[in-house]
Structure 1
Amino acid sequence: MSGGPALVGRQPVLVTGGAGFIGSNIANRLAGEGHDVHVYDALSRPGVERNLDWLKRRHGKRISFTQGDIRDETGVASAAREAEAVFHMAAQVAVTTSLVEPREDFDINVRGTLHLLDALRTRGRGTPLIFASTNKVYGDLADLEFELAGDCYQPTEPGIRSHGISEARPLDFHTPYGCSKGAADQYVLDYARSYGVPTAVLRMSCIYGERQMGTEDQGWVAHFLIRALEGKTITLYGDGYQVRDIMDVSDAVDAYMAAWRQIDQVAGQAFNLGGGSANGISLRRLMAYIGELLGREPDVRFEDWRAGDQRYFVADTRRVRETLGLSPARDWQSGVADLARWLAEERGLELGTLDRPTLRVSA
Structure 2
Amino acid sequence: MSPTDTRPVLVTGGAGFIGCNIANKLAEDGHEVLIYDALSRRGVETNLAWLQERHSGLITSVIADIRDEDELARAAREAKAVFHMAAQVAVTTSLVDPREDFEINLKGTLNLLDALRLRGDRVPVIFASTNKVYGDLADIDFRLEGDRYVPQHAEVAAHGIGETRPLDFHTPYGCSKGAADQYVLDYARSFGLPAAVLRMSCIYGLRQMGTEDQGWVAHFLIRALQGEPITLYGDGHQVRDILDVSNAVEAYMRAWARIERISGRAFNLGGGPANAVSLRELLAFMGKLLGREIDVRFSDWRAGDQRYFVADTRAARATLDLSPAVPWKRGVATLAQWLGESRGLKPAKVPERAAS
How would you bin the TM-score normalised by the shorter chain?
Answer: over 0.9
Give the CA deviation at 1:352: 4.2
In the other structure, the counterpart of 1:342 is 338
Separation in 2 of the partners of 1:122 and 1:289?
A: 50
Deviation string 1:288-308 (CA, Å, 9 cap, x unpaired) is 000000000111000010001
Equivalent position of 1:133 in the other structure:
129
Specify which of 47, 62, 69 is matched with residue 65 of structure 2.
69
Match of 1:49 in 2: 45
- Indicate the residue corresponding to 1:216 in structure 2: 212
Whether contact under 8 Å (2:161, 2:312) holds in the other structure is yes
Distance 1:155 1:267, change over 3 A: same
Partner of 1:357: 352
Please state whether the residue corresponding to 1:137 is helix, strand or coil.
Answer: helix
* Structure-2 residue corresponding to 1:204: 200
Cα offset for 1:360? 5.3
Aligned to 1:306: 302
Residue of structure 2 equivalent to 1:142: 138
Q: Deviations over 1:100-126 (max 9, x none)?
A: 000000000000000000000000010
Shift of 1:10: 1.1
Scaled by the length of structure 2, what TM-score is found? 0.99
Q: Take 1:352 and 1:197, find their aligned partners in 2: how far apart are those partners? A: 46
Q: Name the residue aligned to 1:12.
A: 8
2: CA distance between counterparts of 1:360 and 1:20? 27
Could you tell me which of 76, 79, 85 is aligned with 2:75? 79
- Report SS of the residue matched to 2:162: coil
- 1:213-241 residue CA offsets vs partner (Å, 9 max, x unmatched): 00000000000000000000000000000
Quick one: which amino acid aligns to residue 22 of structure 2?
Answer: I
1:1-363 equivalence runs, <5 A: 6-8=1-3, 9-354=5-350, 356-359=351-354
Q: Which runs of 5 or more residues in structure 1 are unaligned?
A: 1-5
Three-state SS of the structure 1 residue aligned to 2:282 is helix
- In 1, the alpha carbon distance for the partners of 2:297 and 2:63 equals 39
For these two proteins, the number of residue pairs brought into alignment is 355
Does the aligned pair in 1 maintain the 2:340–2:348 contact within 8 Å? Answer: no
Contact 2:161 2:311 in 1 (8 A): yes
Question: Tell me, what secondary structure is at the counterpart of 1:315?
Answer: coil
Deviation at 1:351, TM superposition (A): 2.0
Q: Distance in 1 between matches of 2:348 and 2:192?
A: 53
Q: Is the 8 A contact 1:337 1:358 kept in 2?
A: no
AA in 2 matched with 1:94: A
Report the residue type matching 2:15 in the other structure.
A
Q: Distance in 2 between matches of 1:144 and 1:136?
A: 15
1:358, distance to aligned residue in structure 2 (A): 4.6
Q: Secondary structure of the residue that 2:57 maps to in structure 1?
A: helix
Give the structure 2 partner of residue 3 of structure 1. Answer: none
Return the alpha-carbon distance in structure 1 between the equivalents of residues 352 and 168 of structure 2. 43
Native 8 Å contact 2:35 2:62 kept in 1:
yes
User: Does the residue aligned with 1:86 lie in a helix, a strand or coil?
Assistant: strand
Q: Do the aligned partners of 2:185 and 2:265 also contact (CA within 8 Å) in 1?
A: yes
Tell me how far apart the structure 2 counterparts of residues 358 and 7 of structure 1 sit (CA, whole Å). 41
What RMSD in Å do the two structures reach over aligned CA positions?
Answer: 0.8
User: 5+ residue gaps in structure 2?
Assistant: none
Are the counterparts in 2 of residues 238 and 306 from structure 1 also a CA contact under 8 Å? yes
Look up the SS of the partner of 1:235 in the other structure.
strand
Whether the aligned pair in 2 keeps the contact of 1:233 and 1:298 (CA below 8 Å) is yes
Normalised TM-score (structure 1): 0.97
The alpha carbon displacement at 1:353 in A equals 2.4
Deviations 1:324-358 (A, max 9, x none): 1111111000000000000000001012423x425
| Percent identity for Structure 1 against Structure 2 | 70
Quickly say closer, same or farther: Cα 1:125–1:288, change in 2 above 3 A: same
